[in-house]
Amino acid sequence: MSDHTRDTVRIGLVSVSDRASAGVYEDKGIPSLKSWFQVAVLNPVEFVEVLIPDEQEKIAEALCKLVDDEKCHLVCTTGGTGPAKRDVTPEATLAVADREMPGFGEQMRQISLRFVPTAILSRQVAVIRKQSLILNLPGQPKAIAETLEGLKDSAGKTVVNGIFAAVPYCIDLIGGPYIESNDEVVTAFRPKSAIRHKH
């Protein structure tokens, strides 16, 4: 482990669920996201957590607050991305976007398609708002980890890249902190010129 000081990363975690926000059952989205980031990211992380119902206006409001007021560098939503009537997370995300990043959604569906043919029903999007990357992630804890990490074969070799491999460099490009990942979980990919050498 090198002794250089790592930038603090602010991550917004948004769980979108009518029932969990009403206390009908316990939210599993935020705890599983949080525990994943605590292992995968080597930087000090400050989390800002929000649990809200499937209402487009409330989701959009929460995303704006996390980016504009809380100054999060990365915001991850979980839930509300299917074709059901109450699934409005993608609409809320696109409504607050400065720019869309379609590659993330494409890759998330590629990963999920390895498991279920219904992965094509997922409408996950990723966008940039100001200095922040906003990602719509799946609702199930197992799918969250697979989407972020990618899939490895029995020998531990990556078969399908997870989306987090591209997140640190994306955040570099939009002026955020230099995020370092735990290679045992997922290796952050950067072009050689963008890699900071550890002292």
Q: Sign of the C-alpha dihedral, residues 165, 169, 175, 180?
A: positive
CA atoms within 13 A on the CB side of 100: 12
pLDDT attached to residue 198: 63
Element (H, E) at 37: helix 29-40
Domain boundaries of the chain, sorted by first residue? 9-194
Q: State the average pLDDT over residues 63-89.
A: 97
Whether the predicted pLDDT of 101 surpasses 80 = yes
- In CATH, the number for domain 9-194 is 3.40.980.10
Q: State the average pLDDT over residues 44-71.
A: 97
The CA distance from 83 to 187, in Å, is 32
For 99-126, the three-class secondary structure string (H helix, E strand, C coil) is EECHHHHHHHHHHHHCCCHHHHHCCCCE
pLDDT tens for 112-159 read: 999 999 999 999 999 999 999 999 999 899 999 999 999 988 888 888
pTM value is: 0.94
pLDDT attached to residue 199: 45
Higher-confidence residue of 3 and 40: namely: 40
The CA distance from 38 to 185, in Å, is 11
The CA distance from 185 to 66, in Å, is 26
pLDDT attached to residue 152: 85
Whole-number percent of the chain with pLDDT over 90: 84
- Asked if residues 164 and 144 have their Cβ atoms less than 8 Å apart, the reply is no
Closest CA relative to residue 53, chosen from 82, 88, 84, 26: 88
- Poorest-confidence range of 14-28, 61-75, 173-187? 14-28
Whether the predicted pLDDT of 3 surpasses 70 = no
Residues counted in the chain: 199
Average pLDDT, the chain: 94
Query: Where are any strands of DSSP class E within 28-180?
Result: 45-52, 74-78, 99-100, 126-129, 132-137, 150-152, 158-161
The CA distance from 164 to 108, in Å, is 10
Whether the predicted pLDDT of 104 surpasses 50 = yes
